[in-house]
Amino acid sequence: MNGRELPIIQFEDRPGILDLGWGHPCPSLLPVAEWQKATQATMEQFGWQVLTYGYATGPGPLIEWLSGHVSKAENAVIDPSQFFITAGASHALELISAVLAEPQDVVLVDSPTYHFALRILRDHGLEIVKAPTDDDGIDPAALDELLASLLSRGRRVPMLYIVPTFGNPTGRSLPSHRRCELVQMARRTGLTVVEDDTYRELVYQGTVPTSLWRLADGEGVVRIGSFSKTVAPGLRLGWINAAPGIVRRLASLGYVDSGGGINHATALTMATFGTSGTYGQHVAHVRGEYRLRRDTLVGALRNSLPDLHVPSPAGGWFVWLPLPPGMTASVLLRKAESLGVSFVPGTLFYADAQGGYNHVRLSFSLLTPPQLIMAAERLTEAIQAVS
Ligand SMILES: Cc1ncc(COP(=O)(O)O)c(C=O)c1O
pLDDT in tens, 46-71: 999 999 999 999 999 999 999 999 99
What's the gap in Å between 226 CA and the centre of ligand 1?
7
Q: Give the Cα separation of 41 and 342 in Å (integer).
A: 41
Q: What average pLDDT score do residues 129-143 get?
A: 96
CB 192 within 8 A of CB 220: yes
pLDDT the model gives residue 1: 47
Rounded to the nearest angstrom, the distance between the alpha carbon of 252 and the centre of ligand 1 is: 25
pLDDT for residue 3 is more than 70: no
Measured in whole angstroms, how far is the alpha carbon of residue 375 from the centre of its chain? Answer: 24
* Other residues' Cβ atoms within 10 Å of the Cβ of residue 94: 17
Q: Which residues pair with 106 in a beta bridge?
A: 127
Residues 334-387 pLDDT 10s: 999 999 999 999 999 999 989 999 999 999 999 999 999 999 999 999 999 999
User: Which of 20, 86, 90 to probe ligand 1 with, by most ligand atoms within 8 A of CB?
Assistant: 90
CA angle at 103 for the pair 99 and 109, rounded to the nearest 5°: 75
2 pLDDT higher than 90: no
- Ligand 1 centroid, distance to 93 Cα (angstroms): 10
Report the mean per-residue pLDDT for the chain: 97
Q: Per-residue pLDDT tens for 210-225? A: 999 999 999 999 999 9
User: Three-class SS of residue 299?
Assistant: helix
- The b/e string for 209-243 (b: 16+ C-beta within 10 A; e otherwise) is bebbbbbbebebbbbbbbbbbbbbbebbbbbbbbb
- Which ligand 1 atom is at minimum distance from the Cα of 316? 16
Closest atom of ligand 1 relative to the 91 alpha carbon? 11
How far out from the chain centre does Cα 22 lie?
A: 13
CA of 359 to the centre of ligand 1 (A): 20
Digit-coded pLDDT (tens) for 277-328:
999 999 999 999 999 999 999 999 999 999 999 999 999 999 999 999 999 9
- The SS3 assignment for 255 reads helix
Q: Could you tell me if 222 and 246 are in contact, meaning their C-beta atoms sit under 8 angstroms apart?
A: yes
Residue nearest atom 4 in ligand 1 by C-alpha distance: 89
Mean pLDDT of 113-121: 98
Q: Work out which ligand 1 atom sits closest to the CA atom of 317.
A: 16
List pocket residues of ligand 1, CB cut-off 6 Å: 23, 88-90, 114, 163, 168, 196, 198, 226, 228, 233, 238
CA of 384 to the centre of ligand 1 (A): 33
Give the whole-number percent of the chain exceeding pLDDT 70. Answer: 99
Residue 229 alpha carbon to ligand 1 centre in Å: 8
pLDDT of residue 4: 76
Nearest ligand 1 atom to alpha carbon 226: 10
d(CA 97, CA 122): 10
DSSP single-letter state for residue 203: B
Choice between 297 and 4, residue whose per-residue pLDDT is larger: 297
Angle of CA points 214, 218, 221, to nearest 5°: 95
Summarised one tens digit per residue, pLDDT across range 224-245 is 999 999 999 999 999 999 999 9
The region that residue 353 occupies, defined by phi over 0 for left and psi between -120 and 50 for alpha, beta otherwise, is: left
Name the percent of the chain lying above pLDDT 90: 97
Q: What is the pLDDT of residue 165?
A: 98
Helices and strands per DSSP (H, E), number in the chain: 13, 14
